Structure 1
Amino acid sequence: MAGAEACAGPEPLLRAAAAALVLGDAGAACRASARALAAARSAGSAALVPRALEYLAYGELRAGRHAQARTHAEEGVRAARRAGQRNAAAHLHAVLALAASAEGDASAVARHAAAALDTARRHGLAQTATLARWAVARDELARGHAVEAAARLGPLVGAGTAAVRLGADGTGGAAGHFAVRVLAMPCFVEAAALAGRAEAAGAVVEQFAVWASLGADAQAPAQLARCRALLAPSDAGPWYEEALRRHEVAGGAFERGRTLLLYGKWLRRRRRPREAGTRLREALVEFEECGARSWAEQADSELRAAGSTPRGLRGGALAVLTAQQLRIARCVAEGATNREVAVRLSLSPRTVDHHLRNVFAVLGVRSRVDLARLVDRWDRSGAAVDGEGPGARPR
């Protein structure tokens, strides 16, 4: 990829970006697309600018950076219209619909999906149609309309009979576009499970497992574990924990937040409110971090249902931390960097970062200064007593 990115012309860079998207390397796709965009503008190749912006927007979308994807796609729509590229504009409208479905803007989802589907139907654009319908379904899922989302996604992912056709949307096949349908499978599984139709998702999960095994999508292993949790509600805990471990490797606040939200719901329904509150607060932080408003509202609502305080906790809340989390919180409150904490506690910096993110989520704090204040109030209140529970002072 590095050799391709070194090429001066926009076309080799666009091919490199396309290859990176196929391989699931969103970072490489964004880098190559950005360089292609600069090269196209420098060379005066106005016809290539919309494609570069399309790849860049899609790469940002795959990376979970929805606001950046929206900015590039909006610019891409304008460039495509200037160049008379109606199909490219339609595809960028579909990308905008997907970004809006994460950000919680229902009117934008409807507007951009309609614009994308109007051209897709007339010109037979299968990929554009599939992206747009996925966006509408994901917005329905974010708003708690699982039945509608499952019904919309089922044909896209090939659930049920293979005779289902999508000709009205221009896909002309038994399911959605091959490059998109697999990405929409975890959404369908979630919607089907929440709609009480988990049996309809079994075959889809096994298809998705094949995709995850190829290593072309960094998020797929975590999403697969989440899907298996949804299909095994009596023994979902280990699957959710596995999904969270996979998310730590893959990164991405949006997908991790979705796993945490589902895990928190599962814990709450099994009358484990303290554990549910921990996971739901983490989900809320992740969604707020990536601007996923509708999903954040779901997490907030679940927190209230669990009897927890959604937007920050009382000073005595350090009692909910594990012993390891409390040790890390104390070190940070004393001014230590993550690397210094790692050395002091004989941990890896990555482990410290992971625990510290959870500490921030559980306590509802947003900075190291806020954490230090909370630890100080906890200590001065005398709430932590040697040898008592997870909030005990380390000896």
Structure 2
Amino acid sequence: AIRCTPPDALRALTRRQVDTAELYYIRGDVEKACELAAAAWPEPAGAEPPVRRRALALYTHTLLYTQGPAAAQKLVDDTLAQAADDPWLRSLALAFAADFNSAGDRPYARRIAVEAIKICDELGDRADPIAAAVAPMALAEIDMFGGRGLDRSLIERARAAQSGQSWIPFIDRAEVHLGLSAKHVDDLGTSQAILTRTLRQAQDVGESSAMLILQAHLAYTELLSGRPEAARAALAAFDAAAREAGPGIGEPGSLTVSRALLAIMDDDLDRAEAILLAALERLPPIPIVRVVMDTPLGAIALLRGDVERAITLLAGVLEQARAVHVNEPSVRGRPEGDLGQALVTAGRLTEAAGVADELAEIGARLERPTLTGIALRVRGLIATARGELDEAEKLLGAAAQAHAASPMPVERGRSLLALGQVQRRRKAKTEARRTLQEALDCFTAHGHRPLARLAEAELARGQRAGAGSVLTASEQRVADLVADGFTNREVAARLSMSVRTVESHVASVFRKLQVRSRTELAARFKQ
């Protein structure tokens, strides 16, 4: 149709270019969609205003994917310079600039989102429907990232603005925006339901680019829910859809993180680390990318017992996130639990308390049991390190109770594991055994092998006899882990001790039990 349109029939030509660009976008051919949108955009006299605004929306969106934020920002700036007397075009340019700057300059993005909403309010029923939808969705995301929670009224406003539009890319729909965002505020059920439903709809119409993004976020949501097999199925579906779609949108960061988290749960830490490091080489060097990749890298370091590396990575996550105004813990991968544990292990209790205090404030303000539970667990670990076992048991019990209201079951298992360890130190053997078994059942049910292995070791430790009469309580705990094959560094991470303290305990154990090697110690404990 484009080829058969006379060059002087500018209105018809522009309309057909935009229609065709939308079809290419649906197919996932973003570069061709961008090429056609670019051809339609520069002729202000050749397009009806609504068609021209559609061209700007599509051109900005596809330019962002193909050439990056700088190119999209230049288009917006040029448009604003030319549209001083055109509130419709101005509101649209501001809305899209707010949208793609929501991951970068958030104060600027928030200011222009508010300005776009104000223009739409002034225009009333005559407002451009795309601007009237994009601006409130951008503001909702900016505020959520900033730690203000998710304002669903803004998303509902966007949904109302979109109700009369004939075609909206799936990924730009208000319902999908809610599905992508709800998982960040502990509402995993809403995310799962919306992502699953809209994924089927995208498949029905063959919108390949949307299918890939929706599958990526569904996989991540399933992992948060403690459903690794469902996440594995979503990853397999993504790979199949990507092969069918061919070149186009690359692998989203959320999918890369999902692959790494699944490898961690499978106890394949080397593979998880390789996935994340490869992604850091492939993806653009922007702070939010570094944040979401470094959080699981820090978790890997902690599981390996490399406490100092874990602290470096996870403290860096918080520093980088704050620099770009990302104050929502879930957006940065909730690094606080691992960071707090690592800081306690390193003896940096004041810093650990600061991490817990910040998280507790956010959890209370936003009524988020996951964050409240993690904060209580870190405080419990601090009390344990100080030898305040009664207080530690109280805090860790409260953490487990808070996590009972959280949709992320593995976090409850972690708090139960810490609680069981404290109960064992307090000689409450029956309670410890019951708590540790509950932690093990949680980790097993939700497929977290490294944590299940640790819970199994704690349970087995309670069944041993022989050495307890000659070893101190601390020496016994160290000896149990060494006999299970853990390195000194791993023992230090698990017992919140320094490596030097562990080495001292190991030497004392060898002397008291008259053994000369770790192998001999393990054999002694098997008797």
TM-score normalized by the length of structure 1? 0.66
> How far has the Cα of 1:68 moved from its partner?
2.0
> How far has the Cα of 1:287 moved from its partner?
0.7
Q: Which residue of 2 is the match for residue 346 of structure 1?
A: none
For residue 410 of structure 2, what is the amino acid of its counterpart? F
Q: Which residue of 2 is the match for residue 191 of structure 1?
A: 342
> How far has the Cα of 1:152 moved from its partner?
2.1
CA contact (8 A) 2:184 2:331 kept: no
- 1:101-120 equivalence runs, <5 A: 101-120=264-283
**Match among 173, 179, 183 for residue 21 of structure 1:** 183
**Match among 131, 135, 150 for residue 292 of structure 2:** 131
Q: Which residue of 2 is the match for residue 265 of structure 1?
A: 421
SS in 1 for 2:443: helix
> Are residue 75 (structure 1) and residue 237 (structure 2) matched?
yes
> Are residue 228 (structure 1) and residue 379 (structure 2) matched?
yes
CA contact (8 A) 2:359 2:375 kept: yes
Q: Which residue of 1 is the match for residue 215 of structure 2?
A: 53
**Match among 88, 92, 96 for residue 259 of structure 2:** 96
CA distance in 2, matches of 1:61, 1:25: 14
> How far has the Cα of 1:231 moved from its partner?
2.1
> Are residue 275 (structure 1) and residue 275 (structure 2) matched?
no
1:30 to 1:105, Cα distance in 2 relative to 1, 3 A: same
For residue 366 of structure 2, what is the amino acid of its counterpart? G
1:288 to 1:249, Cα distance in 2 relative to 1, 3 A: same
The unaligned stretches of length 5 or more in structure 2 are 1-151, 466-527
**Match among 35, 39, 43 for residue 205 of structure 2:** 43
Q: Which residue of 2 is the match for residue 151 of structure 1?
A: 312
SS in 2 for 1:250: coil
CA contact (8 A) 2:443 2:452 kept: yes
For residue 151 of structure 1, what is the amino acid of its counterpart? T
For residue 201 of structure 2, what is the amino acid of its counterpart? A
CA distance in 1, matches of 2:216, 2:303: 25
SS in 1 for 2:207: coil
For residue 233 of structure 2, what is the amino acid of its counterpart? T
CA distance in 2, matches of 1:276, 1:131: 35
1:58 to 1:249, Cα distance in 2 relative to 1, 3 A: same
Q: Which residue of 2 is the match for residue 288 of structure 1?
A: 444
1:78 to 1:213, Cα distance in 2 relative to 1, 3 A: farther
1:265 to 1:90, Cα distance in 2 relative to 1, 3 A: same
- 1:309-348 equivalence runs, <5 A: none
Instruction: Using the TM superposition, name which of 80-89 and 252-261 deviates more.
Output: 80-89
> How far has the Cα of 1:284 moved from its partner?
0.9
SS in 1 for 2:405: helix
Q: Deviations over 1:280-329 (max 9, x none)?
A: 111111111111111111111122223369xxxxxxxxxxxxxxxxxxxx
CA contact (8 A) 1:104 1:295 kept: no
1:102 to 1:83, Cα distance in 2 relative to 1, 3 A: same
CA contact (8 A) 1:190 1:230 kept: yes
**Match among 185, 188, 213 for residue 364 of structure 2:** 213
CA distance in 2, matches of 1:200, 1:223: 15
CA contact (8 A) 2:356 2:376 kept: no
CA distance in 2, matches of 1:143, 1:290: 21
The unaligned stretches of length 5 or more in structure 1 are 159-165, 310-395
Give percent identity, aligned residues only.
Answer: 24
CA distance in 2, matches of 1:150, 1:305: 29
Q: Deviations over 1:49-76 (max 9, x none)?
A: 1111122122212222233223323433
Number of positions where the alignment pairs a residue of Structure 1 with one of Structure 2: 296
CA contact (8 A) 1:54 1:76 kept: yes
> How far has the Cα of 1:35 moved from its partner?
1.2
